[in-house]
Amino acid sequence: MTILDRVLNGYPRGAGASALAIEDLQRENAHLNANLSRMAGLLAQNRLELDLLRRTAKRQKPTYGWLAQRAELDAKALFALQISGQQPSRRNAKEILGMGERRWAWARKLAMFAGVHDGALFDDLDARTIIQRLEEGRIDAEAHPDAWRKYE
């Protein structure tokens, strides 16, 4: 029994307009309770679908487009590390940037694919040129995923 039912049941039922008003309110209350039940059912169904989508998304492997975008960001971070006077080595990437070995390797591969990294250091080019080439390299890597995977 809802609060409105309790209030309406305790309301004095007199003759005339007040009795009709109470009946109208009770009908409206029943209608609202039905809508509330339907909405609760839809909410439960949506939660189940969301859980299923989350489980499915966790099981999927990342696409090469996503890897290329992440590698571009990481390559730019490695370049910033070199500009700051540090070596863009695996150890510095882990200690300073918190970058794991795989992310470091993908960033290095993308930089080599873009032609701005020789395997140890970034080339001595203007920073804008390197960033532009990394962005172009990402676009090429997304279009041709097998081409940039061969760089070691």
Could you report the per-residue pLDDT of 115-136, keeping only the tens digit for each? 888 878 888 888 889 899 999 9
Q: Are 81 and 93 in contact (CB under 8 A)?
A: yes
For the entire predicted model, the pTM comes to 0.59
Q: CA torsion 127→104→110→125, rounded to 10°? A: 20
Inform me whether the pLDDT recorded for 151 exceeds 90: no
The residue with tokens 């873009």 is 114
Could you count the other beta carbons within 10 Å of the beta carbon of residue 19?
13
Q: Name the amino acid, one letter, at 38.
A: R
CA atoms in the 13 A half-sphere facing the CB of 41: 6
User: For residue range 35-71, what is the model confidence (pLDDT) as tens digits?
Assistant: 888 888 888 888 888 888 888 776 666 677 788 889 9
Q: Are 145 and 106 in contact (CB under 8 A)?
A: no
- pLDDT at position 54: 82
The residues spanned by each domain of the chain are 3-59, 64-149
